Amino acid sequence: MTETVIRSASQARRFSVDMRTLSPFIALIVLIIAGTLINPDFLTASNLLNVVTRSAFIAIIAVGATFVISGGGLDLSVGSMAALIAGAMILILNRMGGADVGTLAMGMGAALALGAVCGLANGLIVTFGRIEPFIVTLGTMGIFRSLVIWLAAGGTITLRNADLREIYRPAYFGTIAGIPVPILVFLVVAAIGAVLLYRTSFGRHVIAIGSNEDVARYSGVPIWRVRTLTYVIQGICVAIAVLVYVPRLGSATPTTGLLWELQAITAVVVGGTALRGGIGRIWGTVAGAVILELVANIMVLSNFVSEFLVGAVQGAIIIIAMLVQRSFQRGR
C-alpha cells in the first residue's frame, strides 16, 4: 500500500497525504462497525465474503477508471461495454459449441480483445478527434448498449451449453484456499494496477497529464499515446470484470451493467482519486467499491428502513462517509 503522489514534497504535506490515503479505509471500518450494530448477521464470514465478491465487478472496472480519471479523462461507456462484451462472449461460446477448457479460453481471449478494441476506440476518438471524453463516451455508451440489444433481439443472451456452464461456474462461485475467485482476481488486478500507476514511467505520465496537460506536453510526455492507453486499460479491465460476471448467471440482457459507470466513478472518487485528475489511488478505489456494496448490503439487512427509502438512506450514508473523510484531512 505504498503510494507516491507527485505533489507531496514536504514532510508535513506527506503526513496529510497519508491521512487522505487512509481515510477510505477508516470509512470502511466505521461502516463495518455500524453494520454489526444494526444486525449481528452482518459480521458472518459468509455475508462479508458475499459482499466483497459482489463488489468485484465494480472494483475491477473502477481500477481501470482510476487510470482514466487520474489522467484527466472520463469513461461513461463502461456499463454498456460490459453488457456488449458479455453478450458477444456468450454468443461466441454458443457458436463454438464445445464444452471444454479450450473453448472457454478462446471465448475469454475474444472478450479481452473486444474490451481492448472498445477502449482503443474511445481513446482514439478522444485524442485524435479532440472531443470531450464526456461526449465521446456518452456516444459510445449508446452505441454499445444498442449493439447488445440488437444482438439479443431485445431478449436474453444465454449460455446454452449446460456442461460448459458447469466448467465455467467456479470462476465466480469457486474458492482457492477459502477465498472466492472473484476476490482473488480483483486483488491481482488492483496489484498490477498499483504497480503500473506508482512504479512505472507510464503511471507518472498519466498523473502528469492529469495535473497539467500543457506542462506534461512541454516536458515531452507523449500525450496522445498515454491517454489512449488509459482507455485501453479501462477496456481490458471491463473485459476482466465480464470474465467473472458471465459465470454467475450465464446470461446477458439489455439491462446488464446498467449504471455501472456511475458506480465505478463513485468508487474511484470515494477512494480519494481527484475527479479533475492528477491524483490516483488504486487501493482507495478498491475500498470505495467495497464501501458501495456494503452500504447496499446493510440496507437490506436493516429492519427499520422502509424499502421506499433505501435509495435516500444509501445516498446519505455515502455523503456522510465523504464528509467524515474530509474532516480527517482538515484536522491534520
Residues in touch with other proteins (CB under 8 A): 39, 41-42, 44, 46-47, 50, 54, 149, 152-156, 158, 173, 248-249, 251, 253-256, 258, 296-297, 300-301, 307-308, 310
> How far apart are CB 171 and other proteins at their closest, in Å?
13
99 neighbors 161 (Cβ within 8 angstroms): yes
> How far apart are CB 280 and other proteins at their closest, in Å?
28
The C-alpha cell that represents 201 in the structure block? 514511467
- CB of 116 or CB of 171, closer to other proteins: 171
Of the candidates 28, 109, 4, which has an alpha carbon nearest to the alpha carbon of residue 286? 28
Residue type at position 276: R
> How far apart are CB 294 and other proteins at their closest, in Å?
11
- CB of 1 or CB of 179, closer to other proteins: 179
- CB of 31 or CB of 232, closer to other proteins: 31
> How far apart are CB 33 and other proteins at their closest, in Å?
18
Cα dihedral value 321, 50, 83, 233, nearest 10: 70
> How far apart are CB 169 and other proteins at their closest, in Å?
10
Query: Rounded to whole angstroms, what are the CA distances from 55 to 11, 192, 268?
Result: 35, 18, 13
Spatial distance between the Cα atoms of 239 and 109, rounded to a whole number of angstroms: 10
Bridge partners (DSSP) of residue 252 are 157
> How far apart are CB 180 and other proteins at their closest, in Å?
10
DSSP classification of residue 179: E
> How far apart are CB 307 and other proteins at their closest, in Å?
5
Spatial distance between the Cα atoms of 303 and 292, rounded to a whole number of angstroms: 19
> How far apart are CB 244 and other proteins at their closest, in Å?
13
- CB of 107 or CB of 250, closer to other proteins: 250
- CB of 40 or CB of 109, closer to other proteins: 40
Which residue is associated with the grid cell 507518472?
A: 204
- CB of 192 or CB of 310, closer to other proteins: 310
- CB of 103 or CB of 297, closer to other proteins: 297
Residue type at position 160: R
- CB of 40 or CB of 129, closer to other proteins: 40
Q: Where are the alpha helices (DSSP H) in the chain?
A: 11-38, 45-54, 56-70, 78-96, 101-129, 133-152, 162-168, 170-173, 181-199, 201-211, 213-218, 223-249, 260-270, 282-301, 310-331
Query: At 131, which helix (H) or strand (E)?
Result: none
DSSP string over 58-109: HHHHHHHHHHHHHTT-----HHHHHHHHHHHHHHHHHHH---SHHHHHHHHH
